[in-house]
Amino acid sequence: MSTLGKKTVDDIQVKGKHVLVRVDFNVPLKDGVITNDNRIVAALPTIKKLIADGGKVILCSHLGKPKNGPEAKFSLAPVAVRLSELLGQPVVFADDDNVVGEKAKAAVAAMKDGDVVLLQNTRFRKEETKNIPAFSEELASLAEVYVNDAFGSAHRAHCSTAGVTDYIKDTAVGYLMGKEIEYLGNAVNDPVRPFVAILGGAKVADKLTVIENLLSKVDTLIIGGGMAYTFLAAKGYETGTSLVDSEKIDYCKNMMKLAEEKGVNLLLPVDTAVLPAFPDPIDAPVELVESDADKIPADKMGLDIGPKTMQLFADAVKSAKTVVWNGPMGVFENPVLAAGTKAVAKALAETDATTVIGGGDSAAAVMQLGFADKMTHISTGGGASLEYLEGKELPGIACIANS
C-alpha cells in the first residue's frame, strides 16, 4: 500500500511487545448503548493484524467532550463489551479515571501475546487536549511500539495522537490511517485527471483555505450548499434571505478571478430550491418553489440546488477521473431538501472515477442516502479531511516514522 512514505503495521515487528494503538472509538451512545459501531468495526483490521502477529494490544481513544475530567456517561465501558463481541475474545477494560492508573498497569503487566486491553477515555485527563508531556510519558510507559489508526483525530496535536511519539520511537500508522493518507493524499496531490472537487456545506469561512488550495490543483471546482449564496452575491445576484457571509464577498470575488486566471472551471448553482424560512423542525414537510439563482425572491431563502443545477453538476462529474466531495448541496436532513445532495451522490455512484468523500456531513449524507458502497473511499474524519484538503500537514501523521 502506498501510504506516502509512512511506516505501516506491515513494516513493524510486534511479537511479544506491548503496542499502544490510538483508535477512534468516539461512537454515538444513547443511555449507555452504542447506536452505531462503524468506528469500532473500522479499527478491526489493524487490531486483528497486531493480535495475529503476537503483539500485546493496548487501545486508547477519546469519547465525546468531557468538560471537567471523568464523566460516567463518557466511559468507554460499552465499547469494551462491543469490541470483545466483534473480536471473539475478551477485551480487558482498565477503568481508571486517571487513564494510566493501577488497573491499567496491572492489566498491562498481566498481558500475554495477542491479548487486548482498552484504556479509559483519554479525555478524562485534561492534559490530553493540551498535549502536556507528563501524560504523554505516562501513556508511553505502557508500550514499546505506537500505532496511530485514528484519522478523525489526526489534525489534533494531543498526548495520545502526537505527544506520545516523543517517548516511543517505534511508530507506524494502522490500515485505516494508511487508507486515508493514500486516498485523500493521492487524490489531492497526485490526481488522475480530469480532477473535480465538489464543496458544499453552510459556511464559506470554514472552507477559505480549502478553496484556495484546490484552485491550484483541480480542473473543475463545483460549489453548492449554503456557501454558494455568498458566491452568487459576489456576482451581484439577488439572493433574498439566503445565507450570505457579507464579510466574505470580496474573498469570493478574488476566488472567481483566481479560477479564471488558472483556467479552472468554477461551477455555481444556476437555479435553487427556495422557501420562506428554514424548516423547523429540520425534517418538517415543505413545499418547494424553484427560482433562477440570479433572482431569488427578496422574501425567500435558497435551501437546495435546483434541477438544472443538479444536471449541470452531474454532467461535470461524468467525465472526471478523480472526484473529491466535501459538504452537502442543501439541507439534506430534510427529505425534500435532500434532492440536490442525492443527485450529486448518484452522479458519483455512476461514474468510474476514483470518488473520495471527505468525512463529516458528506459521509453521513452518502450513507443515509444509500450510496456508501458505490464510493471508492469515505473518510472517517470531517475536520481532518478538510485540513488535508487545505494542504496542511496533520500532527498525528507527521509524528509517525517515515518508511
* 156 labelled binding-site residue: yes
Residue 204 and residue 361: Cα distance in Å, rounded?
Answer: 15
**Is 63 strand, coil or helix?**
coil
Clarify whether 126 is annotated catalytic.
Answer: no
Residue 283 amino acid letter: D
* 333 labelled binding-site residue: yes
Q: Quick one: how far is CA 294 from the chain centroid? A: 33
Long-range pairs, 205-212, Cβ under 8 A, ≥24: 205/245, 205/248, 206/386, 207/326, 207/327, 207/386, 208/248, 208/251, 209/390, 209/391, 209/392, 210/326, 210/386, 210/389, 210/390, 211/255, 212/255, 212/258
* 358 labelled binding-site residue: no
Cα–Cα distance list, 243 to 201, 204, 325 (Å)? 11, 10, 21
**Which of 225, 240, 360, 396 is labelled catalytic?**
360
For 77-105, letters b (16+ CB in 10 Å) and e give: ebbbebbbebbeeebbbbbbeebbeebbe
Residue 348 amino acid letter: L
**Which of 7, 22, 39, 125 is labelled catalytic?**
39
Clarify whether 7 is annotated catalytic.
Answer: no
What DSSP letter does each residue of 259-313 carry, written as one string?
A: HHHHT-EEE--SEEEEESS--SSTT-----EEEETTB--TT-EEEEE-HHHHHHH
Q: Give yes or no for a contact between 349 and 371, defined as CB atoms under 8 angstroms apart.
A: yes
Beta carbons within 10 angstroms of residue 160's beta carbon: 31
Q: Give yes or no for a contact between 344 and 198, defined as CB atoms under 8 angstroms apart.
A: yes
* 280 labelled binding-site residue: no
* 295 labelled binding-site residue: no
* 374 labelled binding-site residue: no
**Which of 17, 383, 391, 392 is labelled catalytic?**
383
* 362 labelled binding-site residue: yes
* 163 labelled binding-site residue: no
Dihedral (C-alpha) 279, 281, 284, 286: value to the nearest 10 degrees?
Answer: -10
Residue 222 amino acid letter: I
* 206 labelled binding-site residue: no
Residue 3 amino acid letter: T
**Which of 203, 253, 374, 392 is labelled catalytic?**
203
* 61 labelled binding-site residue: no
Clarify whether 22 is annotated catalytic.
Answer: no
* 361 labelled binding-site residue: yes
Tell me the Ramachandran region of residue 274: left when phi exceeds 0, alpha when psi lies from -120 to 50, beta otherwise: beta
* 22 labelled binding-site residue: no
Residue 152 amino acid letter: G
* 83 labelled binding-site residue: no
* 302 labelled binding-site residue: yes
* 359 labelled binding-site residue: yes
Residues belonging to the binding site are 24-26, 39, 62-65, 123, 156, 207, 302, 333, 359-362
Q: Which residues are annotated as catalytic?
A: 39, 203, 360, 383
Residues belonging to the binding site for ATP are 207, 302, 333, 359-362
Residues belonging to the binding site for (2R)-3-phosphoglycerate are 39, 123, 156
Residues belonging to the binding site for substrate are 24-26, 39, 62-65, 123, 156
